[in-house]
Structure 1
Amino acid sequence: MEPTAHNQQEASIPSSMETAEDLALKLNFAVRNGNREDVLELLEKGADVNSKAGEGGWTPLQSAVQANEEDLVRLLLDKGACPHARKDNGGTAFTEAAIAGNVNILELLLDRGLNINDHDDNGFTAFMEAAWYGRKEALKFLYSKGANVNLRRAASEEKAKLHKGGATALMDACRERHFSAVETLVQEMGADVNICDNRGRNALIHALKKGGAKERYESAVSIGHFLLDHGVDVNSKDECGKSALILAVEMRSPDLVKALLEKGEIDIDDADEKGNTALMVAVEENDYNIANLLCEEGARTDVGNLIAVANRNRACDMARLLRRYNAMLVPETLKDWEPNSKCWRDQLKKLYKMYRPMIGKLKIFQHTQQRIQNTSQGSIYLGFHGGTEVAVKISHSTEGDKEKTFFEQCGNCEHLLKLFQFEEKGGYMYLCFPLWEKNLEEHLQEPEDQMDYKDTLRMIFQAVRELHSLGFAHQDLHPSNFFIDLGGKIYLADFDNKRKLIEGNKELVNSDLEALSRLVLYVLKGGRKPLQQVSTEDLAANSPDYREALDLVGSLVSHDERGLEGLSKHPYFWSKQTRFKFLKSIWNKIKDLPKRKAVFQAPNATESFPYPLWTEKIDEDVLYIMEHPRKGRTFCYGNDVTDLLRFIRNLDEHPDIRISNKIGDHAEYFLKLFPALTIYVYNSLRQNPEYSCFADIQDLSL
Structure 2
Amino acid sequence: MGSLGSGEEHQRYGAIMEPAAHSQQDSPTPSSTETEEDLAFKLNAAVRDSNIEDVVKLLDEGADVNSKAESGWTPLQSAVQADNEDLVRLLLDKGACPHARKDNGGTAFIEAGIVGNVNILKLLLHCGLNIDDHDDNGFTAFMEAAWYGKEEALKFLYEVGANVNLRRAVSEEKVKLHKGGATALMDACRKGHFSVVKTLVQEMGADMNVCDNNDRNALIHALKEGCAKERYESAVSIGRFLLDHGVDVNSKDECGKTALILAVEMKSPYLVEALLEKGEIDIDDADEEGNTALMVAVEKKDFNIAKLLCKYGARTDVGNLIAVANRNRDPNMARLLRQCNAKFVPETLKDWKPKSRRWRDQLKKLYKIYRPMIGKLKTFQYIQQKIQNTSRGGIYLGLYGGTEVAVRTSRSTEGAKEKSFFELCDNCEHLLKLFQFEKERGYMYLCFPLWEKNLEEHLQEPDDQRDYKDALRMILQAVREMHSLGFALQDLHPRSFFIDLGGKIYLADFDNKRMLIEGKKELVNSDLEALSRLVLYVLTGGRKPLQQVSTEDLPADSPDYEEALDLVSSLVSHDERGLEGLRKHPYFWSKQTRFKFLKSIWNKIKDLRNRKAVFQAPNSTGSFPYPRWTEEIDKDLLNIMKNPRKGRSFQYSNDIIDLLRLIRNLDEHPDTRISNRIGDHAEYFLKLFPALTIYVYNSLRQNPEYSHLADIQDASL
2:507 counterpart of 1:483: no
Structure 1 position 271 matched with structure 2 position 308: no
Of 316, 324, 327, which residue of structure 1 is paired with 2:331?
316
Q: Which aligned pairs between 1:179-578 and structure 2 lie closer than 5 A?
A: 179-211=194-226, 213-447=228-462, 451-503=466-518, 505=520, 507-557=522-572, 559=574, 564-578=579-593
* TM, length-normalised to structure 1: 0.90
Unaligned runs of 5+ in 2: 1-16, 21-28
Q: Residue 555 of structure 1: CA displacement? A: 4.1
Structure-to-structure mapping, 1:617-696, within 5 angstroms: 617-686=632-701, 691-696=706-711
1:663 partner amino acid: I
Question: Is the partner of 2:439 in helix, strand or coil?
Answer: strand
Question: Aligned to 2:46, which of 21, 25, 30?
Answer: 30
Task: Give the whole-Å Cα distance in 2 for the aligned partners of 1:357 and 1:604.
Answer: 66
Cα distance in 2, alignment partners of residues 179 and 449 from structure 1 = 75
Residue type matched to 2:181 in 1? G
d(CA) in 1 for partners of 2:204, 2:292:
36
Q: Once structures 1 and 2 are overlaid, which stretch shifts more, 514-523 or 229-238?
A: 514-523
| Between 67-76 and 498-507, the greater mean CA deviation after superposition | 498-507
Tell me, in whole angstroms, the C-alpha distance in 2 between the residues paired with 1:54 and 1:492.
41
CA shift digits 1:624-661 (9 cap, x unpaired) = 33222232112222333322211111111122344334
Q: Any idea what SS the aligned residue of 2:373 has?
A: coil
Q: 1:325 & 1:79 partners in 2: Cα distance?
A: 76
Deviation track 1:225-271 (CA, whole Å, cap 9, x = no partner) reads 11222222222222222111111000011111112112222221111
SS, match of residue 100 in structure 2: coil
Aligned-residue offset at 1:539: 3.0
The offset of 1:687, in angstroms, is: 5.2
Residue identity in the other structure for 2:291: N
SS at match of 1:429: strand
Partner Cα separation in structure 2 for residue 121 and residue 470 of structure 1? 27
Question: Shift of residue 698 of structure 1?
Answer: 5.3
Q: Is the CA contact 1:613–1:639 (under 8 Å) kept in the aligned structure 2?
A: yes
Task: Tell me the distance in 1 between the aligned counterparts of 2:610 and 2:205.
Answer: 99
CA distance in 1, matches of 2:286, 2:424: 38
**SS class of match (2:113):** helix
CA–CA separation in structure 1 for the residues paired with 2:520 and 2:187: 51
Residue of structure 2 aligned with 1:45, choices 55, 58, 61: 61
Query: Match for residue 82 of structure 2?
Result: 67
Whether the 8 Å contact between 2:104 and 2:137 is mirrored in structure 1 is yes
> Counterpart of 1:175?
190
Which amino acid is 1:481 matched to? S
Deviation at 1:224, TM superposition (A): 1.3
427-436 or 466-475, larger mean C-alpha shift: 466-475
Which residue identity is paired with 1:89? N
Q: In the TM superposition, what whole-angstrom CA distance separates every residue of 1:376-422 from its partner, at most 9, and x where no partner exists?
A: 11111112334332212222333333333333333333222223333
State how far apart, in whole Å, the 2-side matches of 1:165 and 1:44 are.
Answer: 44
* CA distance in structure 2 between the partners assigned to 1:517 and 1:56 by the alignment: 43
Change beyond 3 A, Cα 1:544–1:330? same
SS of 2:139's partner is coil
Q: Residues of 1 paired with 2:619 and 2:669: CA distance?
A: 36
- Per-residue deviation, residues 292-312 of structure 1 (Å, max 9, x unmatched): 211122211111011111222
- The one-letter amino acid paired with 1:576 is K
How many Å separate the matches in 2 of 1:161 and 1:488? Answer: 36
1:27 Cα shift?
2.6
Question: What one-letter code is carried by the residue in structure 1 that aligns with 2:657?
Answer: T
Deviation at 1:508, TM superposition (A): 4.1
Note if contact 2:185-2:200 (Cα within 8 Å) is conserved in structure 1: yes
Separation in 1 of the partners of 2:365 and 2:607?
A: 72
SS at match of 1:238: coil
- CA–CA distance in structure 2, aligned partners of residues 350 and 515 of structure 1: 39
Quickly say closer, same or farther: Cα 1:22–1:465, change in 2 above 3 A. same
Question: Which residue in the other structure is 1:124 paired with?
Answer: 139
User: How large is the RMSD of aligned CA atoms in angstroms?
Assistant: 3.0
Q: Relative to structure 1, is the Cα distance of residues 647 and 136 closer, same or farther in structure 2, using a 3 angstrom cutoff?
A: same
Q: Distance in 2 between the 1:699 and 1:327 partners? A: 68
Equivalent-residue separation in structure 1 for 2:696 and 2:177 (angstroms): 61
How much identity, in percent, do the aligned residues show?
Answer: 82
1:365 CA drift (Å)? 1.4
- Give the letter for the 1:48 counterpart: D
Deviation for aligned residue 1:200: 2.5
Q: 1:90 to 1:402 in 2, by over 3 A?
A: closer
Note the C-alpha offset of 1:484. Answer: 0.8
Question: Counterparts of 1:489 and 1:351 in 2: how far apart (Å)?
Answer: 26
Unmatched segments (≥5 aa) in structure 1: 1-6
Cα distance in structure 2, aligned partners of 1:185 and 1:72: 32
Question: Which residue identity does 1:539 align to in structure 2?
Answer: L
* Paired amino acid for 2:51: N
SS at match of 2:72: coil
For 1:579, the equivalent position in structure 2 comes to 594
Counterpart for residue 4 of structure 1: none
Query: What CA distance in whole angstroms lies between the structure 1 residues aligned with 2:175 and 2:619?
Result: 66
Tell me, yes or no, if the aligned pair for 1:443 and 1:449 is still in contact at 8 Å.
Answer: no
Question: 1:307 touches 1:328 (CA, 8 Å); kept in 2?
Answer: yes
The alpha-carbon distance between structure 1 residues 608 and 175, as it changes in their structure 2 partners (threshold 3 A), is closer
**Correspondence for 2:23:** none
Q: What are the Cα deviations for residues 444-502 of structure 1, in whole angstroms up to 9, with x where unaligned?
A: 22236964212212222222233334443323222222111111111122222233444
The SS at the match of 1:403 is helix
Corresponding residue of 1:108:
123
What is the distance in 2 between the residues matched to 1:232 and 1:399?
Answer: 38
Work out the CA distance in 2 between the residues paired with 1:197 and 1:601.
73
Look up the match of 2:100: 85
Q: Which secondary structure does the structure 2 equivalent of 1:152 belong to?
A: coil
Contact kept, 8 Å, 1:524 with 1:539, in 2: the verdict is: yes
What SS does structure 1 have at the residue aligned with 2:347?
coil
Q: How many pairs does the alignment contain?
A: 690
Report the alpha carbon displacement of residue 216 of structure 1 after superposing the two structures with TM.
1.7
The aligned counterpart of 2:25 is: none
- Counterpart CA distance in 1 for 2:396 and 2:620 is 53
Normalising by structure 2, we get a TM-score of 0.89
Q: Is contact 1:201-1:238 (8 Å) kept?
A: yes
SS of aligned partner of 1:389: strand
Question: Distance in 2 between the 1:155 and 1:501 partners?
Answer: 30
Distance of 1:561 and 1:163 partners within structure 2: 46
Moved more, 185-194 or 603-612: 603-612
